[in-house]
Amino acid sequence: MQPIELLRELSDAFGVSGFEDEVREVLRARVAPFVDDVSVDTLGNLIAVRHGKDKRVMMLDAHMDEVGFLVKWVDDKGYVRFAPIGGWDERIVPGHRVVLVTRNGEKRFGVIGCAPPHILSEEERHKPIPMEKMFVDFGATSRQEATDLGIQIGDPFTIHYPFGPLCEGYVTGKALDDRAGCAVLVEAARRLADRKPSLTLAFAFVFGEEVGLRGAKTAAFHLDPSIALAVEGTIGADMPGVPEESQPTRLGRGPAISVADRSIIVSPKVVRALERVADAESIPYQYKLPTYGGTDAGSIHLSRGGVLTGIVSVPCRFIHSPVSTLRLNDFENTIRLVTSFVRTLPGDLL
Ligand code: CO
């Protein structure tokens, strides 16, 4: 499978935090041919292990979940009220198509509606709508009809636009944070499959990053790694109105190596090792400017007695919005950096 097709399959899959089943099944099928063992833990992390010459573990983390919403109320006219899961900017939520997954695993489509401008007052038109005032129209005309559609309190849904190309080498899709990271790890597993790695590799596709780095915490405790790398789809902000010094990453400049974010100050040893690997392989890279966002590395490095943990990200524009974009050359160079890092495994890190 071409890496772009993998990205498409993962971006289109449903995986609101805590409801990552569809993403997990895609990943399980795609990674299984390249590892020795695949398992799912109690809370839903997918762990794919490739045995190395050494029993010590290198954990390679990407989160499966995406931001979304939960149904919190269905009113007597069939409209659905909702609660956010993960960090949304409520100004950009109204006016989008959504997909909901029912308890039976069926999909229902709706739209986050809002009153038309014609009937709004001057003041209302210039103010964002608070999320608790928003609603989803699934086409039901009563609570009973919504129930008949299988829609119930607690059901997850998210804004959905299909994956696709924009222009040569530039793609758009939902949830590139962090399906880009998931795709990087599957492709890295494929490229690393030709020979036995020195350390045992544990690819951890974890749940619940968007609600507090949750899956990474239990996965890291369980795996007890000697070293770890979190792979993210991170904030690309090279766009109008954002000064250069406030752009965490820029598209087209290669993978972003994190120095620090809100969840971790990366050990300089790990940053230097990533730089050395990139330089040796002539892989372009940039730094993710401190200290925007948090990552699974925040949970992993604090596990047990502490874990040396690095972060490498694919720059993605418009994350935590209905659509995100990335440059395929950044995606490819992130795969190269992760693969080279695993192969080289800088000795001074262990
Ligand atoms: Co993320």
From 127, 159, 191, the end of a domain falls on: 159
pLDDT beyond 80 at 15 = yes
Residues in the chain: 350
pLDDT beyond 80 at 174 = yes
Residue 169 belongs to some domain of the structure: no
Distance of CA 63 from the midpoint of ligand 1 (Å): 7
Q: Quote the pLDDT of residue 97.
A: 97
**For residue 226, how many other CB atoms are within 10 A of its CB?**
17
- Rounded CA gap, 83 and 70, in Å? 5
Q: Is the same domain home to 340 and 214?
A: yes
Q: Is the same domain home to 224 and 106?
A: no
CATH number of the domain encompassing residue 84: 2.40.30.40
Q: Is the same domain home to 193 and 329?
A: yes
Sole residue written with tokens 């793609």: 171
Active site residue 209: yes
Angle (deg, nearest 10), helices 3-12 and 21-31: 160
The alpha helices in the chain, defined as continuous H runs, are 3-12, 21-31, 122-125, 143-148, 176-192, 214-223, 268-280, 297-300, 328-344
Q: Is the same domain home to 209 and 263?
A: yes
Q: Is the same domain home to 192 and 62?
A: yes
Distance of CA 216 from the midpoint of ligand 1 (Å): 12
Residue 164 belongs to some domain of the structure: no
Distance of CA 294 from the midpoint of ligand 1 (Å): 8
Q: Is the same domain home to 328 and 245?
A: yes
Distance of CA 230 from the midpoint of ligand 1 (Å): 10
Distance of CA 175 from the midpoint of ligand 1 (Å): 9
Q: Quote the pLDDT of residue 280.
A: 97
Q: Is the same domain home to 202 and 121?
A: no
Residue 271 belongs to some domain of the structure: yes
Average pLDDT (283-299) is: 97
**Sign (positive or negative) of CA dihedral 328, 88, 323, 215:** positive
Q: Is the same domain home to 92 and 226?
A: no
Q: Is the same domain home to 225 and 291?
A: yes
Tens digit of each residue's pLDDT (9 = 90 or more) over 81-104:
999 999 999 999 999 999 999 999
Q: Quote the pLDDT of residue 221.
A: 98
Q: Structure tokens of 227?
A: 């070293």
Q: Structure tokens of 145?
A: 């009809």
- Count up the domains in the chain and report the number: 2
Cα–Cα distance list, 297 to 27, 52, 211, 284 (Å): 21, 23, 14, 22
Distance of CA 125 from the midpoint of ligand 1 (Å): 32
Q: Are 99 and 107 in contact (CB under 8 A)?
A: yes
Distance of CA 181 from the midpoint of ligand 1 (Å): 8
Tens digit of each residue's pLDDT (9 = 90 or more) over 115-149:
888 998 988 888 889 999 999 999 999 999 999 99
pLDDT-derived band at 193 (thresholds 50, 70, 90) equals: very high
Tens digit of each residue's pLDDT (9 = 90 or more) over 30-73:
999 999 999 999 999 999 999 999 999 999 999 999 999 999 99
Q: What share of the chain has pLDDT > 70, as a percent?
A: 99
Residue 86, domain extent: 68-159
Distance of CA 130 from the midpoint of ligand 1 (Å): 24
Could you say which of 9, 66, 209, 232 is catalytic? Answer: 209
250: Cβ contacts below 8 Å, ≥ 6 apart: 236, 237, 238, 286, 315
Distance of CA 177 from the midpoint of ligand 1 (Å): 5
- Nearest Cα to 236, choosing from 311, 322, 326? 326
- Nearest Cα to 48, choosing from 166, 188, 203? 203
Q: Is the same domain home to 47 and 192?
A: yes
Distance of CA 231 from the midpoint of ligand 1 (Å): 9
Q: Is the same domain home to 178 and 245?
A: yes
Q: Is the same domain home to 182 and 298?
A: yes
Q: Quote the pLDDT of residue 125.
A: 87
Q: What share of the chain has pLDDT > 90, as a percent?
A: 93
Residue 168 belongs to some domain of the structure: no
DSSP code of 303? S
pLDDT beyond 80 at 347 = no
CATH number of the domain encompassing residue 239: 3.40.630.10
Q: Are 307 and 219 in contact (CB under 8 A)?
A: no
Residue 43 belongs to some domain of the structure: yes
